[in-house]
Structure 1
Amino acid sequence: MAAPASFLQPPTDSNPQHTLALSQRAAAYSKSQQSSFTLPYPLSLLSNTESQEKWATYENIFLACLRTGDNDSAYLCLEELTDRFGRTNERIMALQGLYKEATAQSQEQLEGVMREYDEILKANGAVFSIRKRRIALLKSMGRAAEAMSDLVSLLDVSPTDAEAWAELSDMYLQQGLYEQAVYCLEEVLLVMPNAWNMHAKLGEVLFLSAQKMEGGDQLKTLVESMRRSCRSIELCDDYLRGYYGLKLSTSRLLEALDGAVKPQKSSSDPVAGDLAPPSVESVKKLNQVATAKLSEIVRRASSGEKGWDGYNEAEVKAARELIDKSAQKIER
């Protein structure tokens, strides 16, 4: 039995409806995988439902059940995965640790999970799934400095781990360390140059860092923020966050260019870097494009139009507020 397409999509924070739907179908899916009769070996091989989709589905349902608090169903999924792959499998050990973290009732129990991770890593420090779970646990326990230190150590031995670079960037961003966050996102893009969401995220972080700058540094950073947003929507036509970032960066850039000293005509500029700042006319056109596209996304997503229903509600709301705010400025 092939798994429905929705089962193969892992649950995420940005789509709680999908997560809830997955967890609600846990019992039905588990029942569908159980055979009412068992053939003797080797005939039993003929009825084997082994497939990558099956176990990916079990893992996704397990994660969804943990998110929704259905710990009993999560445990049953975990047992199925453990029976298939064994308790010494690295991924299974990480999932078992995740289950224990999610069901822990006290700080003492969380410390117990931490000790288990330490024991595993003491025996084999190369179990990266456990190293990552330990970092996540440190972060959830409020020990951000230790988590960041462990992430840096992990990246020393695995410098092409895009997921770890992205997580370290988020941690730096939470601490207000924009320069370090930008560096980490640039490392992500070295590994995944076509990740449009990371281009948009880098544009957002650059925009935030520009708010604490003045003069030429601010202008240069805003220009780079705009370019990252442009690259994001170049890679993904209808990416809301890319257009949102483009709208923000171009609006602020127009203000900065208006008060900036006009540079001499040249292919490079000591203030803006290797590329001269874009013309005001170009920035205005990009701002208009971003406004038009955001308006279209908000209109179509809000009306539930087919093919436009996958957007995060909070992001659509934020885009609508940004458009309204921009319209109010024009009216004044």
Structure 2
Amino acid sequence: MAPSLLHPPSQLSPAAALQLSQQAPAVLQNSPSTVSKSPFSALFSASETPELWIKYENLLLSCLRTGDELAAKQCLERLVARFGDGNERIMAFKGLVKEADAQHNGELETVLKEYEQILRDNDTNIPITKRRIALLRSMGRVPDAVSALVQLLDFSPTDAEAWSELADLYLSQGMYPQAIYAMEEVLILAPNAWSVHARLGEILLMAATAPGAAGASYQKYMAEALKRFSRSIELCDDYLRGYYGLKLVTTKLLKESAKLAKQAEEDGLVLPDTNTIERLNELATAKLSEIIRHSTAQDRGWRGYDQGEVAVARELLSEDSSAASRIER
């Protein structure tokens, strides 16, 4: 499916973002440069639609991502003309354009100071708060970004996006328990988000295989990772990352089944029996094979997968097949 300017471009591939940004000349030429705020304007011209401003916002983001700063600034000018400089969302877009224009850290520091001045005047400006956090992270000031996120979540504890960003920051520092806690907060806010379940499963798996993880903590992380990947594919039957994670966890558990069963009995932890783990492993293998086959053939209904992820899944199944062949010999 072709990318659309009506959908957020943040998760698009570079090629899809470029495809969107190339629409800039046509969109800017065929869309009104200004729209009257008068309620009588609709009597004399085409009515204003929310979709127009969504297009401008998403086009601005795609153009910044692909380096077309001239088109991005034209989109920004139209948004400013319609909503004004004092609109919090517009203030964040203006800051984003300045960040893109910055040539060195000194100019980024200037933008950062502008954000801080805005927040001194109004510390409830959430879009500017988030831009400041993103800028701190991009400048390598991770501890400052973490502190700012914690402050934001004290003010707005139901912000799933902020909890997810905090989890990612903790993960980048190898702080697995903190990252797990933050992702669990995301799940409280979005319990049916299969991608979040799988992401938590990935963090749990990383925690289990990190240096120093052993004994009861290792089993706890692996058992919880197994649950999260299983839940992700329960919520989305064709979710590649969920099946990939399930394959990784079950393969590892099967290799260590005797050792883990003994430790589980001693520590009082409950792991699924070997038969259940084998069935889950077979399910993951079969579904990954199906996804790879249909996606590679570009069959209808199977074209939305990231080809990099498909290639990694193919490699995982290849390694598993080679290992099985060696055991049989």
Name the TM-score, length of structure 2 as normaliser: 0.92
Compared with structure 1, are the counterparts of its residues 264 and 8 closer, same or farther at alpha carbon in structure 2 (3 Å cutoff)?
A: closer
In the TM superposition, 1:37-76 aligns within 5 A as 42=40, 44-76=42-74
- Separation of aligned partners in 2, 1:188 and 1:264: 29
Q: Paired residue for 2:227?
A: 227
Distance 1:271 1:46 in 2: 75
What is the TM-score of this pair, normalised by structure 1? 0.91
Q: Deviations over 1:196-252 (max 9, x none)?
A: 111000000001111132233222211110110011111111111111111111111
1:202 to 197, 200, 203: 200
Tell me what 1:241 maps to: 241
Give the stretch that moved more between structures: 106-115 or 196-205. Answer: 106-115
CA contact (8 A) 1:217 1:271 kept: no
Structure 2 CA distance for aligned equivalents of residues 298 and 62 of structure 1: 35
1:20-99 to 2 correspondences below 5 Å: 20-34=18-32, 42=40, 44-99=42-97
Please name the residue that 1:106 is paired with: 104
Native 8 Å contact 1:63 1:74 kept in 2: yes
- Pick one of 269, 272, 294 that aligns with 1:278: 272
Shift of 1:43: 5.8
Closer, same or farther: CA 114–41 of 1 in aligned 2, 3 Å:
closer
> What is the CA RMSD across the aligned residues, in angstroms?
2.1
Q: Which amino acid aligns with 1:309?
A: R
Structure 2 CA distance for partners of 1:34 and 1:158, relative to 1, 3 Å? closer
Partner of 1:318: 312
Structure 1 residues without counterparts, runs of 5 or longer: none
C-alpha contact 2:42 2:48 (8 A) present in aligned 1: no
Compared CA separation, residues 262 and 53, structure 1 to 2 (3 A): same
Match of 1:304 in 2: 298
In structure 2, the gaps of 5 or more residues are: none
Q: Which residue of 1 aligns with 2:7?
A: 9
Q: Partners of 1:41 and 1:100 in 2: how far apart? A: 33
1:47 match: secondary structure: coil
2:69 corresponds to which letter in structure 1? Answer: N
Check the 8 A contact 1:23/1:70 in 2, yes or no: yes
| Structure 1 stretches of 4+ moved >3 Å | 40-46, 261-265
Between the aligned partners of 1:244 and 1:260, the Cα distance in structure 2 is: 22
SS for the counterpart of 2:62 is helix
How much has 1:14 moved relative to structure 2? 4.7
Q: How far apart are residue 261 of structure 1 and its match?
A: 3.8
Matches within 5 A, 1:100-139: 100-139=98-137
The 3 A distance-change label for structure 1 pair 46 and 246 is farther
**Percentage identity across paired residues of the two chains:** 49
Q: Which amino acid aligns with 1:196?
A: W
1:48 deviates by: 3.0
